């Protein structure tokens, strides 16, 4: 999404610390996938809090807020798709179709919470 990527380009530390950025994203996905409901909610609250203060203007002049639920959902869905595809291609135990569907359904709850 162009507005989400404008926020990443302007506010993220991924260029200076790509491994740290990946680790933080991976931790969020791991906690919201394998953690308790309370742990997952704390992770969601933390992400929402961080994004609450981020806003700007995209190169095309459109304003954005990183706390926009639609942008947070879009980013989460893109992450889930990427992580699932990577697991299916490179993981030692790819999921079957039903397991993939169950994973996506579980992560949809996180997307709604964001």
This prediction has a pTM of: 0.85
The reported pLDDT for the residue numbered 19 is 96
The reported pLDDT for the residue numbered 4 is 96
d(CA 11, CA 106) in angstroms, rounded, equals 29
The reported pLDDT for the residue numbered 87 is 96
Angle in degrees, CA 42, 72, 81, rounded to 5: 95
> 90: Cβ–Cβ under 8 A, 6 or more apart, which residues?
none
The boundaries of the domain holding residue 71 are 2-113
The reported pLDDT for the residue numbered 11 is 94
Structural domains counted in the chain: 1
d(CA 95, CA 72) in angstroms, rounded, equals 26
Six-digit token string for 106: 């579980």
pLDDT in tens, the chain (114 residues): 999 999 999 999 899 999 999 999 999 999 999 999 999 999 999 999 999 999 999 999 999 999 999 999 999 999 999 999 999 999 999 999 999 999 999 999 999 999
Q: Dihedral of CA 54/29/4/6: which sign?
A: positive
């Amino acid at each position: 999404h162009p507005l989400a990527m404008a926020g990443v380009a302007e506010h993220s530390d991924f260029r200076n610390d790509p491994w740290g950025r990946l680790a933080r994203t991976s931790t969020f996905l791991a906690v919201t996938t394998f953690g308790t409901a309370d742990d997952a909610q704390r992770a969601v609250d933390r992400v929402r809090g961080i994004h609450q203060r981020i806003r700007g203007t995209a190169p095309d002049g459109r304003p954005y807020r990183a706390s926009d639920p639609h942008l947070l959902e879009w980013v989460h869905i893109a992450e889930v798709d990427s992580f699932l595809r990577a697991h299916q291609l490179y993981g030692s135990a790819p999921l079957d179709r039903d397991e993939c569907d169950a994973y996506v359904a579980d992560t949809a709850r996180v997307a709604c919470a964001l």
